[in-house]
Every structure is written in structure tokens, then in C-alpha cells.
Amino acid sequence: MIDEVTARTSVVEAADRLFYLRGVQAVGMDAVRAEAGLSLKKIYSLFSSKDELIEAVLRHRAERWDAGIAAAAEGARSPREKVLAVFDFLAEWFNEPDFRGCAFINAFGELGTNSRVAEAARKQKIAFRSYVTDLTREAGVADEVAVQIAILAEGAQATAAIVDDAGTATAARRAAEVLLDSAAHASVPPRFWD
């Protein structure tokens, strides 16, 4: 018999795979049961409803996202490169064979009227924007640029999924470089003796 933590993890990972590949509404709890290899009784003892499971999957996705972008930034040599590492992470992700876009955007698109799903998606997007803001501040760039860079990353995810073009991350990275360079240039005070 597996312990409760292992069982929860198994169910969340199974549901995550299925929801991401097929869509949340298209996946019933029987499919989750089959994928996780646990009984429905056990699943419902861990999650009182499908909504509760969806929230757990979105929390799991947020943790994976946060760990992925942090790992990408870890090897950067400068604050500017940390910002651009977000797009390097996206390029790697977009090239995965099961890439289907942002799970939060997808879930919101399917279930945006569900306040718990909407709040989970909103929370993740705000956290990402805050992360980018921290990076751009470290790079000495205005917060407005952070918002623009976050929008580039979000747009790249949606575009890459819809048009099936992993190169979208590279294009977004180049646009982010232009924004960072322009902001850095604007923040340098003019020298009147030149």
C-alpha cells in the first residue's frame, strides 16, 4: 500500500499529463484513475472533487515553472542574462514533443468562469511578472520594461502553441534584448561635454 503523499503525487502527475494533453474538460476521473493506477475511492479520499484536483495540478505546474526559470537563470553571468534566460527556458520547453502551450492559459480558456481556476491562473501570472520585475530591477531597468518582457514571454507561449513554432522563443528573446538595451541606454544620463 502506498502512502498518502506518494498517492497524491501520483494522482496529480497523472492528471497533469492528461489535462495538458487532452484538456481539462475532456478528461474524466476514470481516465485519471487509469493513468494513476489507483481506485476512484482512493482518489476521492485525496481530492474531494475534480476542481480540487485541478487546483492541485495548477499548483504543481506553478512549482515546475518556477523551478525551470530559476534553473535557467542560475547559470547566467549577469543580471541582463538572467532576464534573457527566461526565453532560453521557453526555447527548450517549446521543443519538447508534448508542448501544448501554457497550462494556465489553457485551463483559464476552458474554465475561466470557475473562480478557483481563474484565481490560480491569475496568481501564477502575477508571480511570473513579479519574478521578471525582480530580475529587471537587478539589471537596473525600469519596472515598465519588466511588464513588457513578461508580456513577450506570455505571448511567445501562446504563439508557439498555436502555430507550432519553437522559434517564437528566439524571436521573443531578441525583442527582449532590444527592450533591455533601449532601457539601459535611456537610463544613462547624457554627457554634455561630448
Residue with the three cell numbers 493513468: 35
Residue with the three cell numbers 492541485: 56
- With vertex at residue 63, the alpha carbon angle to CA 157 and CA 33, rounded to the nearest 5 degrees, is 95
Average pLDDT of 39-60? 96
Q: 14 pLDDT exceeds 60?
A: yes
What is the C-alpha to C-alpha distance for residues 76 and 37, in angstroms, rounded to an integer?
41
pLDDT digits (tens, 9 = 90+) for 84-111: 999 999 999 999 999 999 999 999 999 9
In this prediction, residue 146 carries a pLDDT of: 95
In this prediction, residue 2 carries a pLDDT of: 81
- Residue 12 phi/psi, 5-degree rounding, is -65, -45
Residue with the three cell numbers 497524491: 8
Amino acid at 81: E
pLDDT digits (tens, 9 = 90+) for 158-180: 999 999 999 999 999 999 999 99
In this prediction, residue 186 carries a pLDDT of: 66
Q: Give the sign of the dihedral formed by CA 90, CA 94, CA 99, CA 105.
A: positive
Average pLDDT of 36-53? 96
Contact between 64 and 156 (Cβ < 8 Å): no
Mean per-residue pLDDT over the chain, rounded: 93
**3-class secondary-structure state, position 97:** coil
Greater confidence, 104 or 3? 104
Amino acid at 60: H
| Cα end-to-end distance, the chain, whole Å | 76
Q: 187 pLDDT exceeds 60?
A: no
Domains of the chain, each with CATH number or no CATH: 1-48 (1.10.10), 58-186 (1.10.357.10)
